[in-house]
Amino acid sequence: MPTILDLFREPSISRLLGRRRRRINGHATGVPPDLDSSLEKFDFIYPVQAHFGGRPFHRATASERIDLERLCREHADKIVRSDSRLLNDGDDPEDWEWGCLLFRFGGVFTYVRFSSNPESREFIRGGKARVVAHAPTPEAAKEHLDWIRKNYAIPDDGAAPSYFLLKVKYGGLDEVEPVPLPDDAGTQDLALHYGGDFSAWAQNFLLLLRSKKHGLSILRGEPGTGKTFFIRHLIRRLHGSHRFHFLPLKEFYWLSSPEFIDHWNRERKLHPGQRQVVVLEDAETLLMPRDQDNRGAVATLLNIADGLLGDYLKIHVICTINSELDAIDPAIKRPGRLMAMREFRPLSRKESQRLAESLGSNLPESREYTLAEVYNLASRALTEQSGSRKHQIGFANG
């Protein structure tokens, strides 16, 4: 089977590499990064603009691990622009790797871009690529992008448990590459972290996530009581059967938009054996009694929980809140509306001490502690002893 080295030795590819190196050799020839970026944008958008002229064209974007060697080998005649980078000083083909490529499949253009940072080495060897399809209609762009992902995406089998960050870019939904979770064996002992009554509830909640096609769940607790810590546990336990997506609150309105519906249709096609879960942290503003500011948000959540929209989307929504349950819109708490609701409380004095001892620490006071307080005290003690920090709480740090 031809390798990337064979591809670089192909006459057509070699000419592309030679032209690219003579014109722009990135930082190796002293071209400023801003100039290189400007030239690259001009080079790669020009064939698209020239083809469509004043006619409309539409983009569909995804981040994916692409088998670029096979894509180039099978469609070398469709490469109309390329950007290759010299990783080491020399002329050997093995010193070159792709940075950007533009393919033309009839009336559809596909732009594939790897990391712009040469030090990251996130090019052809396992890194994620930015894949953008340009087509005459939104449907054609999405259909072509799905074809690329279906035929050339590298499976994530064996990848670490991760969640996916959803954000809005270029007027549409964009899913960045997975955010892997750090190793933390302690989260497996739920009774130690949340008290003896928690394990049975957690087991039942896992069964609901596996058996029900959609639903709304609320995790309520003061800051630091372990709501996000528990979501990490869910991601680990359900890795392989569920895909967890984190949606910033400011983008919530996309949950019921046509673009979002198209996104979940693509997710179901690309991952037919997996259920989809959306996490909304600090979601009080969405769940409080309806007024002019959040009327649509509450209605959307109710439709996802037990409405026709939920039947179609088939996604679970997990909301975390810090406020009291009394502050939630009564319609959400109506019997049958919520799949699950759990109060996360501080640990008792004995529970706190038991957890601290398991972490090799002692608590300075005999009182109730939140999960975050116990971990922070243990981490501080560990830092004082060895200068290292091993445990962290929260989504932002994994």
Mean pLDDT over 104-123 rounds to 65
Residue 14 scores a pLDDT above 90: no
Each residue's pLDDT tens digit, 286-298: 888 766 566 667 7
Residue range(s) occupied by CATH 3.40.50.300 in the chain: 185-344
Q: What is the pLDDT of residue 21?
A: 39
- CA dist., res. 276 & res. 264, Å (int): 8
**Which of 140-149, 175-184, 261-270 has the lowest average pLDDT?**
175-184
pLDDT at residue 92, as a whole number: 57
The tens digit of pLDDT for each residue in 339-391 reads 999 999 999 999 999 999 988 888 888 899 999 999 998 888 777 666 544 44
Q: Is 36 helix (H, G, I), strand (E, B) or coil?
A: helix
The reported pLDDT for the residue numbered 96 is: 67
Residue type, 195: G
Architecture of the 185-344 domain: 3-Layer(aba) Sandwich (3.40)
- The model's pTM: 0.62
What letter does residue 179 receive in the DSSP assignment?
Answer: E
Q: For residue range 150-189, list pLDDT tens digits in order.
A: 888 876 555 678 888 877 665 566 656 678 887 654 456 8
What pLDDT, on a 0 to 100 scale, did the predictor assign at position 34? 37
Quick one: fold of 4-154?
Answer: TATA-Binding Protein (3.30.310)
Degrees, nearest 5: CA angle 61-164-228: 155
DSSP string, 195-252: -TTHHHHHHHHHHHHHH-S-EEEEEEE-TTSSHHHHHHHHHHHTBTTEEEEE--GGGG
Going from the C-alpha of 335 to that of each of 198, 307, 321, 340, the distances in angstroms are: 22, 14, 19, 11
